[in-house]
Amino acid sequence: MGKSLSFDIAALLVLLLLLISCIVRKMTSGTPNRLFLAFISFNLLATVFDIWAVALDNASSTNLPALYAAHSGYLMIHNFTVPVYVLFVISLTDTWHKIRKSFWVQFVLWAPFTTVFAALLANPFAKKMFLVDGGYQRGPWFFLIYVAVVVYLVFVIGYMVRYRRLVERSKIIAVMSYIPIGITAMVIQMVSPTTLVEMFSAAVSLLLMSIGVQKPEEIVDSDTQFMKYSAYATDMKRNYRNAKHVDVVMLNLGSFSSINAMMGYDFAMLVLSDVVARIRRVNRKLDNKGELYYLDRGRFRMVFNEKDRESAAKAAEMLVESLKEKSDFNNLDVSLNPFVILAHCPEEIPDFKTLMTFGTDFHEKLKYEGRVMHVDEVYHKGMFEIQNNIDDIIEEALEFNRFQVYYQPIYSVEKGRFVSAEALLRLFDPTYGFISPEILVAAAERSGAIHRIGDYVLEEVCRFIASGDFRKLGLEYIEVNLSVTQCMRVNLAEKVMSIMGKHRVSSEFINLEITETAASHTQEIMAENLNKLTRAGISFSLDDYGTGYSNIKRVIQLPLKIIKLDKSFVDEQDNPKMRVVLKNTVAMLKDMNMEIVVEGIETQEMLDFFTDLQCDFIQGYFFSKPLPKPEFINFLRSQTE
């Protein structure tokens, strides 16, 4: 009985369609794509030879050269598809740099294939693999083909298990489907030798791989045809995980956001496509050694392998040169302000998370200079680590009671002594040391931990006020900072009162400092909270006056007792114009019956200036830095003695 060709013909069609679809979808560059194309092509070729061989067999051909050519061709090419599959799997893990170093891995990759190939070459004379005279028959060495396949499959499974973390699970499943499908086909063909399903099964698993693994729309950005943010994240994460050294040229266009906001989408796209063309030109001059990515909002990346370090450096220089000149778009002069940083990873940026945080907004932290910049100009290792781990740091600090409250004395000009103090949050982390309260507060506002921290500070302050020391030291009240989020808390007033009640602290001893914000939605709840607390007898200060938004309006609307002039005012009091502003500001606030605290007084000269202006209170390093409670108490005692 002849063998049926229908499965082979179906395989041929599927493979042809796959090949065409890969080309149409432009999946032709990059190692995984090229290997996948090779994989399809070899399977296609093997199918053609199989059809030829089966046709000859079915016709009981006696043309020996043709029979040898057809059968050897099929077996050789089919034998070759398996190592190509292995290479494709390796390329998905991007671990070539590891393979190149290992003799044994290379040996396992090439030895089985070469052995079978040699045996097939010798077959027309040795006749050990198969015989064709008097019908096709397997020879005694035919099992070598199976041995080779088993070696490769064991290798692939081992490799995937070893590097499973480098490839997404769905991709692993798609790529490994080749094995069970292939084995099923082999079993079917063993049981029913006339049903030729081997090539068809290969075509089916290639189809699965094409659907599950090779998805260009998942990785290519449609505006730029560069790879997308997610592809950059996946690739860089993998590089960090398998310790692959790469050079990343980071380009953030400093003015892209404002171009987009001011000129609109179409114009921004025009600019974008011009920049894309220039980046391509740069890469072409460097033999396309860089992998190109477009993240979003005018942020591009070129990633180079370690061996192309020189090209990376050149790329960075060329990008700056090509983008820094003003360009003409629709008769408008546009400056792109390219910020370019060359980073050796992982040497200079130690982990993936930091790389991503760093890349988001380094252009906002730097002054534009039109040159290639270096990582250490922006990146302060400790700072980044703190920012990356801040949520854990705060949670741990709350759990292990690591927060502290320091006090900075506030001097009354009228009374000639210290009458109050500002409570300031402090954290000394065992790993990172001192962490600025500004960072803590900002992070705690995001995570919601601010409420617990705020409650802690207020409790500490109440405990201090309730202790005997407080009154003996001649203190009248303590100023406690409230962050914006705290002011928006619905039950803020109740919480504050309950903490004060618990420690039997009367409301006149607490003054709450609030800061201004631009967000109008915060104002209603804030005003409501403030009114409730004012009615309960608590007074308020407006902190950092002179730095925020529409201060005057706020000063009029909110129930405030004290205004705290920000340090930035104080720092500029040498400037004659600033002196005018200060003089009039102070006069105006006094006319409104506000009390004035001047913050950040560091010198005698500053002190004299503000005392002459008749400000009521002075706070600053000139008198004392914020101090831990016992030292603060000692400080005040030494003042009264």
* Contacts with ligand C2E, residue ranges (CB under 6 A): 408, 424-425, 436-438, 441, 457, 481-483, 513, 543-544, 567, 599-602, 619-621, 626
Cβ neighbours for 616, distance < 8 A, ≥ 6 positions apart: 412, 413, 414, 595, 596, 597
Question: How many other C-beta atoms can be found within 10 angstroms of the C-beta atom of residue 608?
Answer: 11
Least distance CB 209 / ligand C2E (angstroms): 55
Picked from ligand C2E, Mg ion, none, the partner binding residue 341 (CB below 5 to 8 A depending on kind) is none
Nearer to ligand C2E, 271 or 424 (CB): 424
| Touching Mg ion, residues 588-617 (CB under 5 A) | 599
Residues that contact Mg ion, how many (by CB under 5 A): 5
Treating both helix axes as pointing N-terminal to C-terminal, what angle do 143-162 and 178-191 enclose, rounded to 10 degrees?
A: 160
Partner residues linked to 562 by β-bridges: 541, 595
Question: How many other C-beta atoms can be found within 10 angstroms of the C-beta atom of residue 242?
Answer: 15
The yes or no reply on residue 511 touching Mg ion (CB under 5 A) is no
Q: Of the ranges 51-59, 238-246, 247-255, 505-513, which one interacts with Mg ion (CB under 5 A)?
A: 505-513
Nearer to ligand C2E, 221 or 513 (CB): 513
Nearer to ligand C2E, 94 or 543 (CB): 543
Least distance CB 215 / ligand C2E (angstroms): 47
Q: Which two tokens stand for residue 371?
A: 């040159």
Nearer to ligand C2E, 288 or 436 (CB): 436
Give the residue carrying structure tokens 């067999």: 57
Picked from Mg ion, ligand C2E, none, the partner binding residue 626 (CB below 5 to 8 A depending on kind) is ligand C2E
The yes or no reply on residue 516 touching Mg ion (CB under 5 A) is no
Cβ–Cβ < 8 Å for 417, 635: no
Nearer to ligand C2E, 166 or 505 (CB): 505
Least distance CB 472 / ligand C2E (angstroms): 24
Nearer to Mg ion, 153 or 480 (CB): 480
- DSSP for 309-370 reads HHHHHHHHHHHHHHHHS-EEETTEEE---EEEEEEEETTTS-SHHHHHHHHHHHHHHS---S
Find out whether the peptide bond into 346 is cis, omega within 30 degrees of 0: yes
Question: How many other C-beta atoms can be found within 10 angstroms of the C-beta atom of residue 591?
Answer: 8
Least distance CB 482 / ligand C2E (angstroms): 6
Least distance CB 617 / ligand C2E (angstroms): 12
The yes or no reply on residue 513 touching Mg ion (CB under 5 A) is yes
Least distance CB 457 / ligand C2E (angstroms): 4
Which 3-state string (H, E, C) describes 59-97? CCCCCHHHHHHHHHHHHHHHHHHHHHHHHHHHHHHCCHH
**Residue from 543, 610, 615, 635 binding Mg ion (CB under 5 A):** 543
Picked from Mg ion, ligand C2E, none, the partner binding residue 602 (CB below 5 to 8 A depending on kind) is ligand C2E
Return the biggest CA–CA distance within the chain: 121
Give the separation between CA 101 and CA 105, rounded to whole angstroms. 9
The yes or no reply on residue 544 touching Mg ion (CB under 5 A) is yes
Nearer to ligand C2E, 239 or 483 (CB): 483
Least distance CB 461 / Mg ion (angstroms): 13
Partner residues linked to 424 by β-bridges: 406
Give the separation between CA 235 and CA 215, rounded to whole angstroms. 15
Nearer to Mg ion, 346 or 620 (CB): 620
Picked from Mg ion, ligand C2E, none, the partner binding residue 485 (CB below 5 to 8 A depending on kind) is none
Q: With residue 177 as reference, give the H or E element that holds it.
A: none
Contact set with Mg ion (CB under 5 A): 481, 513, 543-544, 599
